[in-house]
Structures are given as structure tokens and as C-alpha cells.
Amino acid sequence: MAATELAPGRHFAGLRIERLIGRGANGAVYAVTDPAAGEGPQAWRALKLLAPQGGDAGDDAAAEAAEAADRLAREAATLQRLVHPGIVRVHRAGGTQGRPWLLMELLGGVDLTRYTRPARLLPEPVVARIGERLARALAHAHARGVVHRDLKPANVVVDWAADRIVLTDFGLAAVAGAERTRTGLVLGSPAFMAPELLAGAPPDAQTDLYALGVLLYQLLTGELPFDAPALGELLRRIAAALQQDLRQLDLVARLGGDE
């Protein structure tokens, strides 16, 4: 167990740690119970907790930690603007013992990455339903001036039992009037980025819809419309729109689209 990892049964920020869900370079996510929410299933939450700030880390590590904290704060502020069944709900945020944290609803199910593998592709009508649900969630966000900016399978959780398709991870979200992206800085996942973003245009609702199109293409085919081993070649292919036409795969007709 890492020195900064919280053991099950420990209390942190008024929450009881139940289990570790996953960890990354800058922190971890835990399943916790919140006494303030009562008892039973409604008390379960997901705690996104960053590693302690400061210490003896070098300049690069300190800068990375500061950026992670900034993204977490941005995610908290963004999600507080959004209340929609297709968007993960945030309960509260704060900082304890030098560690920024975000308390969110605990989602069941799995992310869509599982269904991008050729052996696990979903039926086309299910993909169409996923697209409709995500479009509605994005419309809710866009109507409130929020652009997700990192829509991809890993950031969508599907819970078949609860019939929920939920958009998560708003850490890169842009809020109208508060964009701070530096010129030439590529944020997000390049394979899902619209050509205009690569040309330096600001993110907007249309760039989110472009990413949704890439996501649906991948769910239907098991492949990305644009892919390359090197970033430079990937960006060139996106700019040149060198992708396979879905109509060649006879998927549009099966989805009820026009030829």
C-alpha cells in the first residue's frame, strides 16, 4: 500500500473509506460512505482524492500536482452547474490535510472502453440509444455554457441494470467566458479532437458533438476513424478527414439512416 493510500475503515473528511476503486499518477478514487447521507445504499459515494500538495517534490512534479488540483477544482465548479441524469452528480468538494478532494455519486456499471473491442461490440440499436442519451446530456451542459472537451469511451459509464448512461470526468471542461487554454496547448484526447481544435479554435458545442461522432464510430466498428502510431500523423489524418466511410460497412442503413 502506498504511503498516501487510505486503508478501509479509516475516516477522512468525515467520510468512512470502504475500498479503493482505482489510482492514478496524482491521486486515487475510493468508495466511501457518508454519515451525513444516512444509512444504506444512499450513503455510498465516490471520493476522488489527490495526493498531498507541496513537500519535497521537484519543479515538474509540483507543477503537475498544481495542474491536477486546478482540474479537480474546475471539475467541482463545473459539475455544480449541471444536474442531469446523464451527468455524474457532485455532492461537495474541499481540501483536508493538504489534499484536495471531490465527493461524487458512486456509479455502478463499467465504462464504454469495454465495448470498443471488436469481440464485444454492442448491437447497433444499443449504440443509437447511447448516442441519444449522451446527446441529451451534452445539450444540458451546452445550454449552461459548459463544454466537456474530453468525451471518449473511458469517460462514459453505462449501468445496464439501472438503465443509466452517464458522462463523467469534467476535469478539462471549458466554461463560457472562463477559457484559459494556452495557444498551442493540446488538451483532451487527440483521436477525439475536431480539426478546428487542432487549428487553434476554442472548444465549443460542435467540438463535443464531433467527439461524440468519433465515440459512436468506435462503438460501431471497433476502430477509431483516425488512428496512427505517431501523434503528428494522427493529426494530419484528422485534418485531412482520411477516415473510412461508415456507409461502406452498411451500418448507416441498419441504424435507420439515409444512404
Tell me the C-alpha distance between 176 and 142, whole Å. 9
Closest to 200 (Cα-Cα) out of 235, 169, 175, 170: 235
Closest to 191 (Cα-Cα) out of 214, 169, 173: 214
Active site positions, annotated: 150
Look up residue 102 and give its amino acid: L
Phi-psi sector, 44: left (phi>0), alpha (psi -120 to 50), beta = beta
Tell me the C-alpha distance between 127 and 246, whole Å. 14
Largest CA distance in the chain: 61
Look up residue 136 and give its amino acid: R
- State the Cα angle at 140 between 135 and 142, rounded to 5°: 90
Is residue 154 classed as helix, strand or coil in its secondary structure?
helix
Asked if residue 151 lies in contact with residue 212, where contact means CB atoms within 8 angstroms, the answer is yes
Tell me the C-alpha distance between 13 and 133, whole Å. 34
